[in-house]
Structure 1
Amino acid sequence: MQIILGRLDTHLGRPRQAQQRLRAAYDGGQPPAEYWAAVGARLGIAVDDPLAERLTAADIAGWLHPDPAALDLLDELRSAPVQLALLSNAPAVFGRAAERQDWTRGFQHLLFSGDVQLIKPDPRIYRLLLDRIGARAAECLFFDDRPDNVRAAQECGMRAELWRGAPAARSGLRERGAITP
């Protein structure tokens, strides 16, 4: 496993489009064993099911530790009169792990791309989220760390901002009256 993780780290320094395409398929619903076999093939390493399971566990563990400042903001928002939803490009297996985390309990809705076979910035995933939360796009404020996802949300009618960290988000939310100082 260390060999493939080391090669993956080295590989990520190369043009990332191929890696991003592989990850997009995984985030869009591809089974973990297929994803890791494809990653292994690009790296010249055979990935069997036991190794795929270990890689999946390591991948999930790497994503389950949110920024403490973001968690503080989430705590503030829990007491605000707002509905919170998480829309994540993430495999279904990550979704199941995230659902067991304390920090996700602050969200009324969790939507993981791997569960619906759609990934941001596909406009259908934003519309699906709006349907699930029962809100109009103009009523929503969407944050994302990728400009293409922010643009797509805006094109769907949402107010959307690039995530620049919890302090910047808190400031914007205060300006909009979503939270009070």
Structure 2
Amino acid sequence: MSSRRPIVLFDLFGVLACHQRPGAMDRMAALSGAPPDAFTTAYWTLRRPYDAGERTAFQYWTAVLDSLSLTAGPDTIEELRLADIDSWSRVDDRMVTYAQSLRERAAVALLSNIPADHADAFRTAQPWLRHLDHVAFSGKIKAAKPDPAAFRHCVAALHADPADFLFVDDRAENVRAAQATGMNGHLFTGREELAAALDTWLPIP
């Protein structure tokens, strides 16, 4: 770590926010008229360009339906879009409070793979985001983890060195990608384990 202020860079879903709402995939499959398994495969297979801001919501959902040999009007696509946003809307209040408490000891930032329209909805619903030192949503910065460009964006935005960061994510491939750029990494398994790692990594206040 350099002599500059340390930065804890959090992933969102699976760390500060909950994974997709249970039953959401079945609900969206029913809206589309597709079998749940086929819908789930199409949903994830085509997701990365949407996360990375390379496709709009309408383009993404049209591609999903096309891959399932289905068609739908704008109203159904909008229903799918809103159901999808709702499915990723829950946060872990204890983790959000903990992350905010770290600002006495470090800068606190966020790097999340999330489409641009989801990001807009999430930012509106979660005012605590305004209190972080930087928020990077993949759909807005046009780079999704584990693309090194996503991590480089945060380094540049915070005028820091990679070694100033501890990146926290629940996906090992993303932690490895951050480490490959020169950041420190922590694979998130729970708040207690993270607190112990941060107590070792951060300077004593």
User: Segments of 4+ in structure 1 off by > 3 A?
Assistant: 4-9, 18-21, 177-180
Tell me the residue number matched to 1:147.
172
Number of aligned residue pairs: 176
Q: How far is the alpha carbon of 1:25 from its aligned partner? A: 1.0
Q: 1:131 aligns with which of 156, 165, 180?
A: 156
RMSD of aligned residue pairs (Cα, Å): 2.3
Name whichever structure is richer in helix by fraction. Answer: 1
* Deviation by residue 1:12-58 (Cα, 9 ceiling, x = unmatched): 66xx5x64341101101110011111122233331322222222211
Structure 2 residue runs without a partner (length 5+):
1-27
Contact conserved, 2:113 with 2:138, CA < 8 A, in 1? yes
Partner Cα distance (2:33, 2:193) in 1: 34
Q: 1:178 to 1:76 in 2, by over 3 A?
A: farther
Structure number with higher relative contact order (C-alpha < 8 Å, ≥ 6 residues apart)? 2
Q: How far is the alpha carbon of 1:8 from its aligned partner? A: 6.6
Identity of aligned residues (%): 35
Tell me the residue number matched to 1:99.
123
Q: Which moved more, 1:23-32 or 1:51-60?
A: 51-60
Partner Cα distance (1:38, 1:178) in 2: 48
Letter in 2 for 1:61: D
Secondary structure at the counterpart of residue 46 of structure 2: helix
Q: How far is the alpha carbon of 1:70 from its aligned partner? A: 1.4
Secondary structure at the counterpart of residue 84 of structure 1: strand
Tell me the residue number matched to 1:33.
58
Output the TM-score relative to the length of structure 1.
Answer: 0.85
Tell me the residue number matched to 1:22.
46
Partner Cα distance (1:163, 1:40) in 2: 34
1:54 is the counterpart of 2:79: yes
Tell me the residue number matched to 2:187.
162
Structure 1 residue runs without a partner (length 5+):
none
Q: 1:146 to 1:107 in 2, by over 3 A?
A: same
Output the TM-score relative to the length of structure 2.
Answer: 0.76
